Amino acid sequence: MNFFKNIVFLSQLTTTNIKAYFKSKEPVASEPIYTNSVNWYGHATAIINLSDIIILTDPVLSNYLGHFFKRLVDKPYLLKGKRVDYILLSHGHMDHMDFPSLRKLDKTATIIVPKGYKRLMKIFGFKKVVVLRHDEVYEDDKIKITSIKADHDGRRYYMGIDNESHSYLIERNNKKIFFAGDTVYTQKFSSLECDVALMPVGCYKPDRFACMHCTPEESYKMFKMMNCPAMIPIHYKTFKISLENFDDTTNILKNFKDETLKIINIGETYKL
């Protein structure tokens, strides 16, 4: 039965992506990266500025994911060659750990990865690779980063036996940003305090994806359990890797009629 479901899913996805292939990309905003701000680059990639230190989450800077999934919108910035201080990778899926992007990025950046990816990052040329297990902390004179277990099987192509998936809490000069990565609904974040939460709201269709990803409603519910004044929805609108309609996702979020839900577009900057 699953075999036929997979065939239907893949054919629907292929049709959508073939259509996207012939469409020109939508233009996007390219707002400045202010001191103490979050700019959404697209999908799970955010450019975070904390007191002028630059942190990049799950960088996907490519026009295609795996040569097949076309980026639906333009890229806000040319990040190649730009100074990046820290790169955080949440897990090994290709929409979060994009090899062509990692090859292009500043190799002097400290890259923080879950267990299972250190050797790969060394091969890409990163000089400082930090591996965090769940609930571990990396701290230096500029930043504190805490890994929190995300409920998500993030192994690349199901390889590896104990590769982990993280969410991260990023702290610098009394500012705190939570980056959830990918996760199903969990109550693990309920005691968490932060200034803004970057929460995934995509990849929830077909329904069986619920074993890997949260819905927008679940994402919002997790946010509301935190002690946090603002949520930025991410992980949608960029690549068509699941079957939900992005406008439906946006409408679900808007229907919460909650000003703490900051629905920004790709390339827009949220000031802390």
Residue 118 vs 156, nearer CB to Zn ion: 156
* 235 vs 80: CA distance, rounded Å: 21
Enumerate the β-bridge partners of residue 48. 38, 55
Residue 143 vs 253, nearer CB to Zn ion: 253
Residue 52 Cβ, how far from Zn ion at the closest point, in Å?
29
Please give the residue ranges that form the binding site for Zn ion (CB under 5 A).
93, 95, 182
Residue 85 vs 95, nearer CB to Zn ion: 95
Residue 217 belongs to what H/E stretch?
helix 216-225
Rama region for 36: left / alpha / beta (φ>0; ψ in -120 to 50; rest): left
Residue 36 Cβ, how far from Zn ion at the closest point, in Å?
26
Residue 238 Cβ, how far from Zn ion at the closest point, in Å?
10
* 212 vs 151: CA distance, rounded Å: 8
Residue 38 belongs to what H/E stretch?
strand 37-42
Residue 31 vs 182, nearer CB to Zn ion: 182
Residue 16 Cβ, how far from Zn ion at the closest point, in Å?
17
Contact 48, 170 (CB under 8 A): yes
Residue 138 Cβ, how far from Zn ion at the closest point, in Å?
22
End-to-end CA distance of the chain: give it in Å, rounded: 48
Residue 31 vs 154, nearer CB to Zn ion: 154
37 closest CA partner among 167, 177, 173, 238: 177
- In this structure, the number of other CB atoms found within 10 A of the CB of residue 20 comes to 15
Residue 114 Cβ, how far from Zn ion at the closest point, in Å?
12
Residue 95 vs 98, nearer CB to Zn ion: 95
Which amino acid appears at position 5 of this protein?
Answer: K
